[in-house]
Chain A
Amino acid sequence: MEVTATEHSENKSLWGGAKKPFEATYGKMMMWFFIVSDALTFSGFLVSYAFSRFKNIDSWPIADEVFNHFPFLHGVEAPMYYVALMTFILIFSSVTMVLAVDAGHHMKQSKVAFYMFLTIIGGAIFVGSQAWEWKNFIKGEYGALETRGGQILQFQNVETGKRVSLEEFAFELPTDRSTHEKSKGLWFSNESTISEITVSEVKAGFKNNEDLVIRTEKLNSFGRKTVLSRENSLAKIESASQVVQGANLVHNEYGNRLFADFFFFITGFHGFHVFSGVVINIIIFFNVLIGTYERRGHYEMVEKVGLYWHFVDLVWVFVFTFFYLV
């Protein structure tokens, strides 16, 4: 240990901060190395998503049918528009961040503060939008049946081709089944909330309504979901084992179970990055306001959080492509 210590002191001119490798400061270089490793983490996630998708290439859910909500437009099919808006918001907040960095180079304190503020607002809007996306995804819209093999059966009107929600056609049948709670029986077992609609109610409603047919998960040669004929639908519905409304990590009404898992995991991990980015931006924003960097003589901290913020934007560009476009 002593040997290293002597060597260290001898090389002071090289390692004591006198010479900068790559003419970048220590902090900036470490931020870059963190970004590289984080980029590889995200690549791992996105590639495993791609793996599951290639594995189920003929039955993967169609993004346009899943993410088709827009605020204040209920019941209007608006695929893509909202995520496109989110993308623009994030790119714009990236731009205000570069402007803050640029103002920092010119030592303009009030301008840095102003642009940092805009960046924080943009980030907050983005996180809020993502939360709203999650809410819609979790709540679901039409509901579906799940077969014993784990396939999802959705319903549509045979003439209009429009999706039909379970609530619209399911019969209400008298049932004795109620949610099992700890207080009612064995104290060590309970179950999660059971669906308000039962499989037999859906079956009865389906048989009664001649206009309904089943859409399966399978994609046809045009890349659309295969719709069964009325006779095949009646046969297929017998294999249903449970009602699925909305999405969680185990079941989702959109199709393959892995789809929801990856959606929650990747957009969640990205959203967490945005959230922590906003928090870090707020800290730096207050430091700018109280003049910490003015006294320090440079605004390099703004540049470093800027790098992180742009990275978050960069990741979103890929998430946007692989979840919503491709």
Chain B
Amino acid sequence: MGHDTHKLAIFRGYLKFKSNQQKIWGVLVFLSIVTTIEVFLGIVKPQILMTLFLKVKLINWIFIILTLVKAYYIAWDFMHIRDELSGLKNAIVLPLIILIPYLIFVILLEGDYIFNIMQDGFVSWNF
């Protein structure tokens, strides 16, 4: 079945687990820590992180990056992508990481453009 061949190392081999069950708990601890950091930042909202970078606040960049980190570990360890052949891995991941950023880029650019139109246009939206 090939199921006993779990890859038991995460963080690029920095952290190795003895069994698959241990790895699951390890990943849970990691995901919980990341979520706790997110919630902590969401409640405290440090003023330093409120500066804009590429039109988005630094704190929001941190949230997005942490979300992607969480998504990676859920997909790689809970959904066992780590144990799949590279062909299947690519068939799943490549369409998503090509199409979604493209969609985000196009739509956000358009949203920003419409914001400017409504802001600078001669029509009042607040009557």
A binds B: yes
| A29 and B88 contact, CB distance less than 8 A | yes
Q: Is B120 an interface position by the 8 A CB rule? A: no
Residues of A within 8 A of B3 (CB): 105
Known A80-B43, A324-B42; contact A53-B78, beta-carbon cutoff 8 A: no
Complex contacts, A47 vs chain B, CB 8 Å:
100, 103-104, 107-108
Give the 8 A-B residue pairs with the shortest CB-CB distance, closest first.
Answer: A54-B111, A22-B88, A51-B111, A84-B39, A321-B67, A149-B127, A310-B78, A105-B3
| Separation of A245 and B31 alpha carbons in the complex (Å) | 38
The count of A-to-B residue pairs whose CB atoms sit within 8 angstroms is: 143
Question: Is residue A146 within 8 Å, beta carbon to beta carbon, of the partner chain?
Answer: no
Please determine whether A94 and B74 come into contact, CB atoms closer than 8 angstroms: yes
Q: Which of B42, B78, B84, B114 contacts A325 (CB 8 A)?
A: B42
B99 touches A321 (CB 8 A): no
Stretch of A4-12, A95-103, A120-128, A263-271 contacting B (4+ beta carbons < 8 Å): A95-103
Contacts of B13 in A (CB 8 A): none
Does chain B have a CB within 8 A of A186?
no
A43-B103, A105-B3 in contact; A318/B67 too (CB < 8 A)? yes
16 interchain pairs, CB-CB under 8 A: A22-B87, A23-B88, A24-B85, A29-B88, A40-B99, A44-B103, A55-B115, A80-B43, A91-B32, A94-B78, A97-B78, A99-B21, A239-B127, A298-B1, A313-B74, A326-B64
Interface residue tally on B, bucketed by range: 35 or more
**In the complex, chain A residues whose CB is within 8 Å of the CB of B115:** 54-58
A148 vs B64: C-alpha distance in the bound complex, in angstroms? Answer: 37
Which residues of chain A come closer than 8 Å to B35, judged between CB atoms? Answer: 84, 87-88, 91
What's the minimum C-beta distance from A113 to chain B, rounded to whole angstroms? 17
Alpha-carbon separation in the docked complex, A32 to B85 (Å) = 13
Q: Classify the interface of chain B: helix, strand, loop or mixed.
A: helix
Inter-chain contacts of A179 with B (CB < 8 A):
none
- For A40, list chain B residues within 8 Å (CB): 95-96, 99-100
Residues of chain B contacted by A321 (CB below 8 angstroms) = 38, 63-64, 66-67
Q: Please, which residues of chain A bring their CB within 8 A of the CB of B27?
A: 95
